[in-house]
């Protein structure tokens, strides 16, 4: 049983020391910080702009499912059932902005970089294959010349086994 615990601990240590786990942790931290930036843009810029079309901030838009919806001074609903569709719309806008920024600033440039890298690698492989083909042709010419010299009785070339 001690061997099993030891192997589990060794496996866990190997898992933690892989680069992927560290990269994932960094991505989560950066993502959380980025979420704060996007939420600030949505609440500070987008919501007031959308609210300018109406009479209030986007977060405050709601409809009443069961009338009358009454709100006390603290902003708590006293009667009725409010549907807060403004906050849902705000969250959807936040999601779309986050997705657009991630796609255009991270995914798209990375995919273009990877495509260029793959094309360069393909080109290098083709050049290497051409060089190997030329080398094979040269080696065949040398072999044929040596065979021709041997057949003519010229220089005796020892055979390799």
Q: What is the DSSP string of 101-146?
A: HHIIIIIHHHHHHHHHHHHHHHHHHHHHHHHHHHHHHHHHHHHHHH
Domain boundaries, the chain: 2-115
Q: What is the DSSP string of 46-111?
A: IHHHHHHHSSS-GGG--EEEEEEEEE-TTS-EEEEEEE-HHHHHHHHHHHHHHHHHHIIIIIHHHH
At 16-39, the pLDDT tens digits run 777 677 778 888 888 888 888 877
**Tokens 């042709």 sit on residue:** 137
Pick the CATH number of 2-115 from 3.90.550.10, 1.10.1200.120, 2.20.25.90, 1.10.3720.10: 1.10.1200.120
At 29-78, the pLDDT tens digits run 888 888 888 778 777 887 777 767 776 667 777 778 777 778 777 767 77
């Amino acid at each position: 049983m001690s061997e099993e615990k030891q192997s589990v601990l060794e496996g866990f240590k190997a898992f933690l020391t892989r680069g992927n786990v560290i990269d994932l942790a960094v991505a989560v931290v950066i993502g959380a910080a980025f979420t704060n930036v996007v939420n600030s843009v949505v609440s500070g810029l987008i919501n007031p702009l959308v609210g300018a079309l109406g009479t209030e901030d986007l977060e405050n838009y709601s409809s009443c499912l069961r009338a009358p919806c009454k709100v006390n001074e603290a902003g708590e609903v006293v009667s009725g059932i409010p549907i807060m569709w403004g906050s849902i719309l705000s969250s959807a806008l936040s999601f779309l902005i986050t997705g657009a920024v991630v796609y255009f600033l991270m995914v798209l440039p990375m995919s273009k970089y990877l495509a260029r890298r793959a094309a360069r690698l393909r080109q290098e492989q083709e050049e290497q294959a051409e060089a190997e083909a030329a080398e094979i042709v040269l080696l065949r010419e040398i072999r044929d010349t040596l065979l021709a010299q041997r057949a003519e009785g010229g220089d005796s070339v020892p055979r390799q086994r």
